[in-house]
Amino acid sequence: MKVREITSVNMKPYFDPNHDSGISAYENGRDYIKIQFKDGAMYLYTYASAGSHCIEKMKSLAENGDGLNAYINEEKPDYASKQS
């Protein structure tokens, strides 16, 4: 079951100064973050799926443009939906 439609035109490019991330873009919402990976997969993480603390941390890393991919790989937050 999808919580929200994943597709979006409001995605921001992910900065990635070291060019070592698998993330290409993101979108922050009030209670969610959408993340698009370089392989085209898009994941929606929500307060309900991953917890507010995790989502707020992911938003902060996304805005800083560094560390988000590592955080996801280490913490493995649950996502609400995925689009390949």
Classify residue 67: in a domain, yes or no.
yes
Find the helix packing angle between 52-64 and 68-75, rounded to 10°: 150
Return d(Cα 62, Cα 44) in angstroms, integer: 14
Could you tell me the residue range of the domain that residue 18 belongs to? 12-83
Classify residue 5: in a domain, yes or no.
no
Q: What is the pLDDT of residue 73?
A: 97
Classify residue 4: in a domain, yes or no.
no
Instruction: Using alpha carbons, select from 56, 79, 61, 80 the residue that is nearest to residue 71.
Output: 61
Please report, in tens digits, the pLDDT of each residue of the chain (84 residues total): 344 445 567 899 999 999 999 999 999 999 999 999 999 999 999 999 999 999 999 999 999 999 999 999 999 999 999 998
Classify residue 42: in a domain, yes or no.
yes
Classify residue 2: in a domain, yes or no.
no
Number of domains in the chain: 1
Q: What is the pLDDT of residue 84?
A: 80
